[in-house]
Structure 1
Amino acid sequence: MAIKVIIFDFDGTIADTYQAVVDITNGLSSEFGYKPLDEETLQLLKDLSSKDIVRKSEISLFKLSFLLRRVRKELGKQIQDLEPISGMPELLEKLKQHNYTLGIITSNAKENVMAFLQKRELEHLFDFVYSGATIFGKHRIINHVSKKYQFSKQEVMYVGDETRDIRSAQKSNVAVIAVTWGFNSNKILNQYQPDFLAEHPSDISHAVLKF
């Protein structure tokens, strides 16, 4: 069955939020009791899975949830000044012209996502936007969306930039494209065996046609 529904992650996949998130996280380091991340550490983290990063974190899971809320809140203050990934608006327009249903499932705040999309005049391209509160719970939202809109799992593809995106899609039994321009490196993304690895947004349209 051909792909008809393409669901995107937001941070690092559609929006170039990487440096903003790093700067915000480092700015909150003294408040939450961890060391700021230098460039060497950031490069090492790119080769780790999302769960391994959490395990190596200097803060507890309890504090981590509060930290993520603060990061989302501070990101909201900058979100309208951030840019989309180069080539992504053109890809989204092309997919919509070919009648694909497009959506977003993200751990970022929905108001941040909508503010970004509206600023960049991209909101009309998406049929739905869902925000998930948990770090590793995207598969539950993928399942919820599929059930709500009566999507067949064989018709759905998820696109993300982290190992947790790959695992969420695999748990939901939907196809997954991992993009290399976001947080995680090609090396660790390949280890999680996505259906396709995209090095540029234009690669996504080629991958969709293969299913």
Structure 2
Amino acid sequence: MDARLTPAPTRPVPARIELVIFDFDGTLADSTAWAIRAVRPLAERFKFKAVTEDEIAMLRGRNSREIMAYLGLPFWKVPLVAAHGKKMMAAEAHTISLFAGAADLLRGLSAAGLKLAIVSSNSEATIRAILGPDLAELIDHYGCGAAIFGKAAKFRAVVKAARIAKDRVLCIGDETRDIEAANEAGLACGAVEWGYATRGALADHGPTMIFSAMDEIISRVAASNCRLGAD
């Protein structure tokens, strides 16, 4: 099945998509196992609740603020946790791989003539290391080091640098905060089911569309490009 509209999408599906802005962790990179391993040392260092795998599964249905409240993690500590987490991931980037189909997805969209970008709280160096040199070169714009609730500004900066009209841009991510940031930036947003948040949690935030498989992104997004004969 192609990308499915939620009952009340916040933004309409772009008639033609020229720029796709991807989140990285949980969208292109399968970093869940790493994140589960990282929770305990981060919790010990920054004094918040160390959750079990069962609790992590339960939290998939919560938004970012609810997760912070459950962990007992005050907002002022979030940048500290994020900064240390980035250092840990950079040191262990070699243990993290892309989701199956992610490489073909990037190559397919690039071959269809779309511009590609990545906006992430992760560092550009770590993202490039996980992508590998060939895939990293397919990315036209990197907006890295975004604050937990600061993606909207990165989205705007990427769109401005790409010189693409906002109604020809699609952001794709796996968390409710990705949808919130796209809405704040006035951009359409696709949500993927294989990442962190559950489909129900994503749908409740009104993404433009929901994808359940990588090939759905190619069929829906690449088909909009005029080089493939779309309007």
- Bin for the TM-score computed over the shorter chain: over 0.9
- Quote how far apart the aligned CAs of 1:210 are: 5.8
After alignment, is 178-187 or 168-177 more displaced? 168-177
1:4 to 18, 22, 31: 18
SS of aligned partner of 1:182? coil
Segments of structure 1 that go 5 or more residues without pairing to the other structure are: none
Query: C-alpha distance in 1, partners of 2:83/2:34?
Result: 15
2:165 is matched with: 152
Which amino acid is the alignment partner of residue 24 of structure 2? F
- Quote how far apart the aligned CAs of 1:111 are: 1.4
Matches within 5 A, 1:66-105: 66-105=80-119
2:79 is matched with: 65
Query: C-alpha distance in 1, partners of 2:18/2:45?
Result: 45
Matches within 5 A, 1:1-211: 1-118=15-132, 121-208=134-221, 209=223
Count of residues in correspondence between the two structures: 210
Taking a change above 3 Å as real, the CA distance of residues 14 and 141 of structure 1, as seen in their structure-2 partners, is: same
Query: C-alpha distance in 2, partners of 1:139/1:29?
Result: 27
- Structure with more relative contact order (C-alpha pairs < 8 Å, separation 6 or more): 2
Query: C-alpha distance in 1, partners of 2:113/2:155?
Result: 20
Query: C-alpha distance in 2, partners of 1:81/1:55?
Result: 30
Over 6 Å off, 4+ runs: none
SS of aligned partner of 2:119? strand
Backbone CA RMSD of aligned residues: 1.6
Which amino acid is the alignment partner of residue 148 of structure 1? A
For normalisation by structure 1, the TM-score amounts to: 0.94
Mapped contact 2:172–2:192 kept (Cα < 8 A): yes
* Residue identity (%): 28
- Quote how far apart the aligned CAs of 1:206 are: 2.7
Which amino acid is the alignment partner of residue 141 of structure 1? K
Segments of structure 2 that go 5 or more residues without pairing to the other structure are: 1-14, 226-231
Mapped contact 1:6–1:158 kept (Cα < 8 A): yes
